[in-house]
Amino acid sequence: MTEFEKMQQGMPYSPADPELTQFRYASRRLCQQFNTIDPADVDANEMVITKLFAIRGKGVVVEAPFTCTYGMNVNVGNNVAFGPNCTIIDSGHVEIGNNVLIGPGVGIYTITQSLLPLEVLNGEMEISLPIIIGNNVVIGGNSVIKAGVSIGEGVVVEAGSVVEGDIEPFSVVSGNPASVIRRLR
């Protein structure tokens, strides 16, 4: 099994693998290109974002600077906006629904570190878990979404929150770790 296959299946893998390294370089080049494009050059911005994400819906707005690790593991729905300084560590699958607002400085991290001594000894130091963000979600600035999290429809994540577990639909969450402070329905 290749390191890429291990990464995609949530198994411990080595991020130092040459194939994974080349994928990261390609994404880094696209992000670097995107971050230097004139913001008024809509066509150039759209072209780079289309190349970067696996699936990109209509009405996607990404403000520079923006960073993602692979890009090919990110599916973005319609009417999604990313504020500046967003980072997606997409070693695992990231699914972002429709009508999602992601504030500035948000981190979406699909990796967790391997803690088993034999895995570390073998160079398998990361484990990737998917992140699913439902439709009609608002994620406040400087929030962190951690590996393996599913955020339901209509959720509001207050600014500065750290989401470590699944969030039920139509909830408002806040804090570190984020907890439900009220229900919207």
pLDDT tens-digit series, residues 17-52: 999 999 999 999 999 999 999 999 999 999 999 999
pLDDT in the model for residue 120: 65
The pLDDT tens digits for 103-125 are: 999 999 999 876 666 666 666 68
Q: Please choose, from the candidates 89, 40, 42, 83, the residue with its C-alpha nearest in 3D space to the C-alpha of residue 64.
A: 83
User: Cα 4 vs. chain centroid, distance in angstroms?
Assistant: 18
140 pLDDT more than 70: yes
Q: Provide the whole-model pTM.
A: 0.94
pLDDT in the model for residue 8: 93
Q: Are the C-beta atoms of 164 and 146 separated by less than 8 Å?
A: yes
Residue 136 token pair: 């009609």
pLDDT in the model for residue 125: 80
90 pLDDT more than 90: yes
Out of 10-14, 22-26, 124-128, the most confident range is 22-26
3-183 CATH: 2.160.10.10
pLDDT in the model for residue 119: 62
- Where do runs of H (alpha helix) occur along 53-185? 117-121
